[in-house]
Amino acid sequence: MRKIVWTNTFWGFCIRIIYRIFWIKIKYIPNDEILWRAVYNEKQVKKDGTLKPAFFRDKNGLSCDLARFSTIEKSRMGHKKPPRWGLHSGLVELDVSTLREIGADVQHKPIKKKRENNYAHCQFSSFLATDLARKLIDNSRIIIKPTFSQESDK
C-alpha cells in the first residue's frame, strides 16, 4: 500500500483518498516526488523575475505542499476557505531529490485547523543558509508566474 500510494494508477488514487480521509501521516517522501511553494509577495522576487535567496530561508522550517496530494490551484490559494491568497500568487516547483542532494530534507506535516485543512502540507526539516538556498533556486522551477498587484502587500 505504501508503494501504490505514489503511483498514477486507479488504486494509487483510491489509497491517496484513504490517506486523506484518515489523515495518515506519511513517514517518508520518495525522492521523485515534487514540492510546491507559493510565491505570494512581490518582495520575494527580483526585478528580473528570479527568486531571491531569502525565498527558501526559514529557521522555523519552510512550508511547502506535496504536489501528489494537492492541486496547483489549492497550493496557490493556500488551502483555505475563503482563499487565503489572491489569484496573483505564483507557484514554484522543486524535486525532493534536489532538496536531499544539498543535504536538506522534508517532512509531511499536515495542517488541520478550523479554516485551514491542508493534508499536503510539508516542512523542510533543516535550515537552508544562503549558499544552499541559492542552489535550490538554481534547481527549482517557476511553474506559475506571479502577477502581483498592490493587494499583495496587504
Residues that bind another protein (CB under 8 A): 38, 40-41, 43-44, 46-47, 52-55, 57-60, 62-63, 78, 84-85, 89, 129-131, 134, 153-154
Residues 44-68: b if buried by 16+ CB within 10 A, e if exposed: bbeeeeebebebbbeeeebebbbbb
Query: At its nearest, how many Å lie between another protein and the CB of residue 127?
Result: 9
Collect all residues with Cβ–Cβ distance below 8 Å to 21 and sequence separation of at least 6.
Answer: none
> Which one, 20 or 57, has the nearer CB to another protein?
57
> Which one, 27 or 154, has the nearer CB to another protein?
154
Query: At its nearest, how many Å lie between another protein and the CB of residue 44?
Result: 7
The x, y and z cell numbers of residue 116, run together, are: 485551514
> Which one, 16 or 121, has the nearer CB to another protein?
121
Query: At its nearest, how many Å lie between another protein and the CB of residue 96?
Result: 19
Query: At its nearest, how many Å lie between another protein and the CB of residue 19?
Result: 23
Angle CA(45)–CA(46)–CA(49) in degrees, nearest 5? Answer: 80
> Which one, 20 or 88, has the nearer CB to another protein?
88
> Which one, 16 or 37, has the nearer CB to another protein?
37
What's the DSSP call for residue 116? B
Query: At its nearest, how many Å lie between another protein and the CB of residue 54?
Result: 4
**CA 56 – CA 151 distance, rounded (Å):** 23
* Whether 82 contacts 67, CB under 8 Å: no
The x, y and z cell numbers of residue 83, run together, are: 482563499
